[in-house]
Amino acid sequence: MHQHTLTELSQLLQSKQLSSEEMTKTYLARAEKFNPLLNCYISLSPERALQQARAADKRIHQGNAGPLTGIPVTHKDIYCTDGLKTSCASKMLDNFIAPYNATVVEKLNDAGMVTLGKSNMDEFAMGSSNENSYYGAVLNPWDTARVPGGSSGGSACAIAARLTPVATGTDTGGSIRQPAALCGITGLKPTYGRVSRYGMIAYASSLDQGGPMAQTAEDAALLLNAMAGFDKRDSTCVELPVDDYTASLNNSIQGLKIGLPKQYFGDALDSNIGDLIHTAIKQLQQSGAIIHEIELPNTHLSIPAYYVVAPAECSSNLSRFDGVRFGYRCEDPKDLSDLYCRSRGEGFGKELKNRIMIGTYVLSAGYYDAYYLKAQKIRRLIRDDFQQAFKEVEVIIGPTSPTTAFKLGERTDDPVSMYLSDIYTVSVNLAGLPAISVPAGFVAGLPVGMQIIGNYFSESRLLNTAYQFQQKTDWHRTLPEGYN
Amino acid sequence: MSLEKTEIEKIAWLARLALDEDDIPGYARDLSNILGLVEQMNTIKTNDIEPLAHPMEIKARLRPDEVTETDQREKFQNIAPHVDNGHYLVPRVIE
Amino acid sequence: MQWETVIGLEIHVQLSTRSKIFSAAATAYGAEANRQACAVDLGLPGVLPVINAGVIKKAVKFGLAVNAEIAEHFVFARKNYFYPDLPKGYQISQLELPIVGYGQIAIRLDDGSNRIIGITRAHLEEDAGKSLHEDFHNMTGIDLNRAGTPLLEIVSEPDLRNAQEAVAYMKKIHTLVRYLGISDGNMQEGSFRCDANISIRAKGDTKLGTRAEIKNLNSFRFVEQAILHEIDRQIDILESGNKVVQETRLYDPDKNETRAMRSKEEANDYRYFPDPDLLPVELSRDDIESIRTELPELPDAKRQRFIKAFNLSEYDSSNLTISRELADYFEATVQASGGEAKLSANWIMGDLSAALNKENKDITKSPVTANALGGMIKRIKDNTISGKIAKQIFEDMWNGEGDADTIIEVRGLKQVSDSGLIEKLVDEVIAANPDQVEQFRSSPGEKQGKLIGFFVGQIMKKTQGKANPQQVNALLNKKLTAG
């Protein structure tokens, strides 16, 4: 059963060949079996899951079920889930039982989905390898000596090992797309403002965006249908109607103009990955797409600008974790400063401290213009590059990550080498664009992801392109060995 | 840009982060490396460019002035480290 | 050396919206600790702010009332610092691009002259919670009910030159915000408070001296005393050859002194940056003009109108327009009295004010309505009652015994104006008091005025005070001098 896609599972439920309760038990059992090895879950919520599954079965019997009713889902542990531990993979929130639901969680609950548990991640979504977790690293199911990518590494891993049919993720600099690529699954980062950020614990507010992670583009479309939409609790959430993202999946991509940015195929890229992406592009050409070479000239500035903007916002966003109203509080603080410094010093991991301190530094008196303002100006250049490109082409394609999954511990001593993992993904966040990563083959047994970037609110076209690609390929249906 | 120990201590204090004395050289190295990466921004001139704070330059949507929140003190204070009689407690503050 | 004081005020006005500036929790005063602190106010992980339209409108009203430039595009910024009453570790405020730009307001000094005071800017921000230092066994208790309450911070130019001007300015802003209906101005509850920046320089210098900031002054009297004290302190320092230190100080009303604050001493680096959770607010010219049409008549305009329309003195008019409620009461009284502006003004500023003060009541809580007072004044004017009887009737109305006409009727207080009856009484009194008549007649004219009082008294005694005093006087004069 676990090999099925969400779409297939949904048909099994609707035709009453299977109950949600049975399905939920199967996935819970798989999670319990494989989690000790993979460490992709921080917590499982069997009681809640079974309760929701029974309610879903009732809904199905009453005939008022939707395509997601009764389908198990895993939430990245950054989404607040009322009554369940929401840790952000941090010691700081190890004791935090969220007192409310994130809007995304609320929407998926309303659709009748079943929450299996909360997935592991890099602490507060800061990382590209899932090694920055208070609960330990997540392993890549394709090779357990390697990382699954991050920060939504737990969600990507759980889908790849088929411990959950779908999962939620968040993407601030590539945190959905890069682990999707490294684990061989499909992950979509929507347009900034398409999915509510309410209840999604903030890392960098102007970059964070929640999105679906799944085996296939079709599943991602179904999940996005329920996740997207206006939320009056999020000022940055746009008030635009939501497409039915499944409606255009079958459209032809005949005549689709695809841009290949020169800058995405440079020296940094593993040539084997480059070859696979070119092969994938040929397949799209065979489906009628037209290829243009394009320029995104400021791409090399995106990582420097990102590592100013994101830490600046994070340094402020994380100030609320002070040991006063929730979360970790140090033992016997001798005074107020001691309470703050030790609660935060003991509660946050090393990479968080790096980023909080960089952010504090770039915003401080005398440095603001040289760093923060400068980064915002570069942000405009990067956005304008994309807008220039979208005058010529409809989507932009390249690799998601310059390498396949790297070894655990390989980059942990050098944050800068870790940051370069996101070289093809961060510019999309700076520009606020939607992008999807789809499996495009294997190099030495490790998955490779192809990234498709579109203009604002072009999620339908991205999913359509990805779906058409998946009709011609079966990379997304290939399973790692040992998880049957 | 290379950061000195005293600068790390100053930043850590602004951010209210207690650092182990032994870890400070490591942070100094990491932060200096990150700033080195960041300073690649200086390879281009940006004098005439307007900063961009948000990807889509749209205006704020305002909320009507209505009270819709209800009292959830018990639920919120269940997860608080130290409360007394409805108040959050901290070590005594001297003004 | 001759010294000159330079004062700038930062007035924090709590805007009287129902809900908070960035959350839908109530702003009502006096709830149990933390019962009006919602997830957003507490800064729980994952929550986000959404701007309250009512707050924007109220701030725009203020800006329009002081002829300020209203920003068509403004942003909110985060001011980062750690403090237990600041749940998020930052305050959402405005730095660049505040909602209200440069404006002006005229203040009136005791000598009757006017001064124009510049308003540098007014910006929106969220209030912090409260720290309570007693009752928690050597710990501090935090109540976040007030966190997120909307504040308009009105920053004056350093145009004020002494405590008296500072108080006049603060009172003017206080009157204005209450007229505009944007704040209740309640100083006990902290809805209206100010920080004073004070510096001293040698008279004639153009450069400002080093300033001290006195925080959280919440009454006009404290503002005055704190400034007076601080001026003395700084002059003492300068005259002994020392330098004033730039610092934040607190005023202690019990000791009537200011002292340096211990907690916020260190140089702060607030690391302001635009709040990424909020988008820029845009107001069109049309939005602003539509708010302008909702502005009420403002205090200065009302004062001028009262002078013209009711023929009042500058003094009476200023007093009656001190609050919108008082001015409304006055206008309603005049109308009910059939246009007796001067009498209405006298009664309101005299007996009514005294009675309200005595019971510590606000004009809106007056037991005597404007209609009732006007009705009584009408009866004075048409000679139904005398001014003396009116005082008694006013007291009865205050005690809830009905309107003037009812009281006059029930108590039989109607003035006796029957000239035949009055003449008869005058004749009786003259006949019964020959000695006094003789004394009157032998006295010089200027003394007769006093002596006539005896006869008036006798007649009032016979009529329980109801005889028309003008008629009695006229007849007595005629008859006594005729003899």
Residue A293: CB atoms within 10 Å:
11
For residue B95, what pLDDT is reported?
66
Decide if A364 and C43 are in contact by the 8 Å CB cutoff.
no
Q: What is the mean pLDDT of residues B50-79?
A: 94
Quote the pLDDT of residue C446: 76
C250 contacts B88? CB cut-off 8 A = no
Tell me how far apart the terminal alpha carbons of chain C are, to the nearest angstrom: 75
Between the alpha carbon of residue C459 and those of residues C327, C451, C468, C476, the distances in Å are 40, 14, 10, 10
Contacting residues for A11 by C-beta, under 8 A, at least 6 apart: none
Smallest Cβ–Cβ distance between B88 and the set A324, A357, A431 belongs to A324
Cα–Cα distance measured from residue A479 to residue A183, given in angstroms and rounded to the nearest whole number: 10
List CB contacts (< 8 A) between C84 and chain A: 324, 336
Alpha carbon of A89 to those of A79, A127, A142, A147, A416: distances in Å?
A: 11, 11, 23, 16, 22
Q: pLDDT tens digits, residue range C140-170?
A: 999 999 999 999 999 999 999 999 999 999 9
CA-atom Rg of chain B in angstroms = 22
Contact with chain C for residue A236, Cβ under 8 A: yes
Mean pLDDT of chain C: 92
Instruction: Please give the structure tokens belonging to residue A248.
Output: 């255009």
pLDDT at C405: 87
Sheet holding C77-80, edge to edge: C90-93, C77-80, C273-274
E-strand stretches of C180-278: 192-202, 212-217, 247-252, 257-260, 273-274
Bridge partners of residue A115, in order along the sequence:
A73
Does residue C79 carry a pLDDT above 50?
A: yes
Q: Are strands C130-132 and C273-274 parallel, antiparallel or unpaired?
A: unpaired
pLDDT of B1 > 70? The answer is no
Q: Look at residues C41, C135, C305, B23 and name the one whose alpha carbon lies nearest to residue A348.
A: B23
For C52, the closest chain B residue by CA position comes to: B63
* pLDDT the model gives residue C263: 54
Question: What percentage of residues in chain A have a pLDDT greater than 90?
Answer: 98
Query: Quick check: A213 and A166 in contact, CB under 8 A?
Result: yes
- B71·C36 Cβ contact <8 A: yes
- Can you give the CATH number for the domain in which A378 is found? 3.90.1300.10
* Gap between the Cα atoms of A151 and A122, Å rounded: 5
* Between residues C468 and C128, the one the model is more confident about: C128
Portion 20-39 of B in contact with C at CB < 8 A: none
C221 DSSP β-pair partners: none
C413 by DSSP, 3-state: which? coil
> Does an H or E element contain C342, and which?
helix C341-347
Residues of chain C found within 8 Å of residue B63, distances taken between Cβ atoms: 24, 50-53
Residue whose C-alpha is closest to residue A373's, from C90, B47, C99: B47
3-state secondary structure chain A: CCCCCHHHHHHHHHCCCCCHHHHHHHHHHHHHHHHHHHCCEEEECHHHHHHHHHHHHHHHHHCCCCCCCCCEEEEECCECCCCCECCCCCHHHCCCECCCCCHHHHHHHHCCCEEEEEECCCHHHCCCCCCCCCCCCCCECCECCECCCCCCHHHHHHHHCCCCCEEEEEECCCCCHHHHHHHCCEEEECCCCCECCCCECCCCCCCCEEEEEECCHHHHHHHHHHHECCCCCCCCCCCCCCCCCCCCCCCCCCCCEEEEEHHHHCCCCCHHHHHHHHHHHHHHHHCCCEEEEECCCCHHHHHHHHHHHHHHHHHHHHHHCCCCCCCCCCCCCCCHHHHHHHHHHHHCCHHHHHHHHHHHHHHCCCCHHHHHHHHHHHHHHHHHHHHHHCCCCCEEEEECCCCCCCECCCCCCCHHHHHHHHCCCHHHHHHCCCEEEEEEEEECCEEEEEEEEECCCCHHHHHHHHHHHHHHCCHHHCCCCCCC
The interface predicted TM-score of the complex, written ipTM, equals 0.97
Top-confidence residue, A95 or C259: A95
On chain A, the residues whose CB falls within 8 A of the CB of B72 are 99
Residues pairing with A352 in the sheet? none
Closest partner CB to A380 (pick from B35, B41, B49): B49
Predicted confidence at residue C54, as pLDDT, reads 98
* A246 vs B5: CA distance, rounded Å: 55
Query: In 3D, which of C130, B16, B83, C264 has the Cα closest to residue A339?
Result: B16
Q: What is the pLDDT of residues B4-36, one digit of tens each?
A: 999 999 999 999 999 999 999 999 999 999 999
Q: Please choose, from the candidates A171, A93, A89, the residue with its C-alpha nearest in 3D space to the C-alpha of residue A134.
A: A89
Which residues on A lie below 8 Å from B14 (Cβ)? 360, 364
Active site residues of A: 76, 151, 175
Burial profile A40-76: b = 16 or more Cβ within 10 angstroms, e = fewer: bbbbbbbebbbebbbbbbebbeeeebbbbbbbbbbbb
Which member of C53, C131, C269 has the closest CB to residue B63? C53
Domains of chain B, each with CATH number or no CATH: 5-42 (1.10.20)
pLDDT exceeds cutoff 70 at C265: no
Asked if C269's CB is within 8 angstroms of A364's CB, the reply is: yes
A304 φ, ψ to 5°?
-55, -45
Q: Kindly identify which residue of chain C lies nearest to residue A78, measuring between CA atoms.
A: C46
To the nearest whole Å, the CA of C22 is away from the closest chain B CA by 9
* Strand C257-260 versus strand B87-91 pairing type: unpaired
**Token pair for residue C332?**
């309603």
Half-sphere exposure of A188 (CA within 13 A, CB side): 35
Q: Which domain holds residue A269?
A: 1-484
Which range, of A100-109, C190-199, C445-454, averages the lowest pLDDT?
C445-454
**What total number of domains does chain A contain?**
1
**Cα distance from A166 to chain B (closest Cα, Å)?**
28
- Contact at CB, C78 and A198, closer than 8 angstroms: no
First-last CA distance in chain A = 10
| 3-state SS class at C14 | strand
C365 at the B interface (CB within 8 A)?
Answer: no
Inter-chain touch A316–C45, beta carbons under 8 Å: no
Nearest CB to A354: which of B34, B72, B79? B34
Q: How far is C345 from chain B (nearest CA, A)?
A: 39
More reliable by pLDDT, C436 or C173: C173
Pick the range with the lowest mean pLDDT from A183-197, A270-284, C357-371.
C357-371
pTM of the predicted model, to two decimals? 0.91
Identify the band that residue C262 occupies on the pLDDT scale cut at 50, 70 and 90: low
Show the tokens assigned to C312: 């009042």
A-B CB pairs within 8 A amount to 167
Q: How many CB pairs under 8 A join A and C?
A: 97
Residue of C nearest to A201 (CA): C46
The reply to whether residue C24 touches residue B94, judged by beta carbons under 8 angstroms, is no
Q: Select from B40, B75, B91 the Cβ nearest to the Cβ of A339.
A: B91
